[in-house]
Amino acid sequence: MKEIKDFINNYREAFGEKAQLPLIFGYSDTAIAETQKTGGCFFKVLQDARDGNGVSLSADVIGCGGGKLYTGFADMPERVPNFVSLKEKYKLSPEMVIEYIDSLELKRATKRYLNFERIDKVQSLDWAEGVLFYATPDMLSGLCGWAFYDNNHDDAVVTRFGSGCSTVVSMTINENARQGHKCFLGLLDPSVRPWVGENELSFTVPMSRFTAMMKTMRLCFLFDAPAWQRLKTRM
């Protein structure tokens, strides 16, 4: 698909050949890969997608109750509020956990699989809900600046409390359903950090926003601005 090839060429020119290509994710009734059940955080298996192999998550594959919740495959387990507050100590009280999860307006998945695939491995973006970049601070400078280029809203890029799966999957998919403009910084949750690089955060873009950003990529500072070119040399 020309759109995908053009993005990859532009992305590599802007961020360098060493920059990891992003993952595309979305729901389907068909699995793109045989993914074994994983205990704990499912981000450990996303390395397969980063390496160029697809990953298909489902209620049977995800072993974490929170992971099933935030991907839409299950309702909130009863233990989650106490676990997040009293065990992990991420919120002052279980009631605050419940209040926060309610505010996310999570919806149940209507399809069986949540697929992740590197963008150079996909044939179409029609099925996609969002785009996941694993980014270093220097890369985030470029990604955020690109998102800010044509968007003056205070929430053009946002960071919210939440597990890795909520900040990457839930928030991005909900924003796409609203046809919104927000991009999300994530992977700040200490529980997910062992499964990503020590200098990496996530930057996720809903497809509702990504389609517009692809059109502005070559117009912004990423290609000929001196400040970015200086930064690019150390990436």
Where does residue 53 rank: exposed (0-12), middle (13-18), buried (19+ CB within 10 A)?
A: middle
Contacts of 9 (CB under 8 A, 6+ apart): none
Specify the pLDDT at position 235: 85
Number of separate domains in the chain: 1
Domain that holds residue 153: 2-232
| pTM: predicted TM-score of the whole model, two decimal places | 0.96
Average pLDDT estimate for 50-73: 96
pLDDT tier for residue 1 given thresholds of 50, 70 and 90 = confident
Measure the CA–CA gap between 80 and 146, rounded to whole angstroms.
Answer: 36
3-class DSSP state of 2: helix
Element (H, E) at 207: helix 207-216
Measure the CA–CA gap between 96 and 85, rounded to whole angstroms.
Answer: 8
Do 94 and 86 meet the contact criterion of CB atoms below 8 Å apart?
A: yes
Residue 178 pLDDT exceeds 90: yes
Sheet with 130-135, edge to edge strand ranges: 55-57, 113-118, 23-28, 130-135, 201-206, 183-186, 157-159
